[in-house]
Amino acid sequence: MDRALAVEPFGFFTLDALRAGWYLTWRQLIRIIPVAVVGVVGGGLLTALRMPVLGAVLLGLGVIAAVIWAAVLVAQLTSRWAEARYGYSLIGPVSVWWGVAWRVGVVSLVAGVILVPPNYLAMSLTESFKGSVPLTLLGHGLTALLGVVNVIVTLLATGWAMSRVTAAQITGLPVAPESFATAAFSQPLPVARTPIQAAAPVAPAGSVRPAVAVPTTSAPARRADGKRQCPKCGLYETERGSVIGWYCTICGWREARR
C-alpha cells in the first residue's frame, strides 16, 4: 500500500524557509531584471531624444511586463521547487501565486510596522546631526542594517509561504516514486564476467592416470608380415578380401570403402 505524504510547513525563522525563499527570489530576479532594464533604458533614450510621451509609454510597458512576468514566475518556480523536493508539481497557477503573494504581503506589512521606530531613528541621526560625523555614520549604518533585515525577512516570508501553499496541495497524496533517472543511477553497474573453465582434476600422489584413447587419422599400424592392426579390437588378426578390403576375423571390423 502506498504511503501518503505528510508535509509540514516550515517554521518562519528556519534555514529551510530561507533556502526556499532564496531559491525563488534569485531565479525570479535574473529573469525580471533584463525586462526592467530594457524598459528603463529605452524610455530614457526616447526622453533624451525629445520624445517624452513615447519614453513614458515604453517605461510604463516595461514596468507592466516586469510585474506580470514576476507574478507568472512565482507560480512556476514554486511548482518547480515542490516537484524537486516532494515529487509533485502544483496545479492552479493563479491560486499558487495568490497563496504566496498575500502571505508575503502580510509579513512585509507587519515587519514594516515593527521597523518604523528604528527607521525613524536612523533618519533622525542622518538628517538632524549632519554636523556630527559619528552620528551621521551611525545613522547610515543603521539604515543599511535595516535594509539587510528587510531582505532577510522577505526571503523568510517567501520560503515560508511556499511551504504553506505546497503543504496545502500535496498533503495526503501518495509518496512519489523514485524518478527513472535516479533509479537508473542508483543501481550498481553490471560487471562483465568471463566464464571460468573448470580445472582438470588433479590425480592423487602415487596414482597412475588411465590412458585416454585419442582418435587418430593416421594409417593403421602394420605388422612385419604385412597384416594391419584392427582399429576396433587392436589385434592383428586381419585379412584382406578382394571385394570388401581389410576386415578383422575376431571382432568383425571392416574397412570403410571410399
Total residue length of the chain: 258
Per-residue confidence (pLDDT) for residue 43, from 0 to 100: 86
The β-bridge partners of 228 are: 222
Instruction: Give SS3 for 60.
Output: helix
Comparing 183 with 79, the larger pLDDT belongs to 79
CA distance 33 to 25: 12
State yes or no: pLDDT of 134 exceeds 50.
Answer: yes
Asked if the model's pLDDT at residue 109 lies above 80, the reply is yes
- Comparing CA positions, the residue from 69, 70, 90 lying closest to residue 78 is 90
The ranges assigned to domains in the chain are 15-178, 221-258
Task: Using the predicted structure, report yes or no on whether residue 70 has a pLDDT greater than 70.
Answer: yes
Q: Indicate the pLDDT class of residue 191, thresholds 50, 70 and 90.
A: very low
Closest by CA to 78, choosing from 55, 100, 109, is 100
Does the global pTM surpass 0.75?
no
- Cell digits for 15? 534555514
Quick: pLDDT tens for 10-40. Answer: 999 999 999 999 999 999 999 999 888 888 8
Residue corresponding to grid cell 498575500? 102
Mean pLDDT, residues 106-117: 94
Q: Given a cut of 50, is residue 196 above it in pLDDT?
A: no
50 dihedral zone (left: phi>0; alpha: psi -120 to 50; beta): left
Q: What pLDDT, on a 0 to 100 scale, did the predictor assign at position 136?
A: 86
Q: Where are the beta strands (DSSP E) in the chain?
A: 238-241, 245-248
- pLDDT tens, position by position, 147-179: 999 999 999 999 999 999 999 998 877 775 544
As a whole number, the mean pLDDT across the chain is: 80
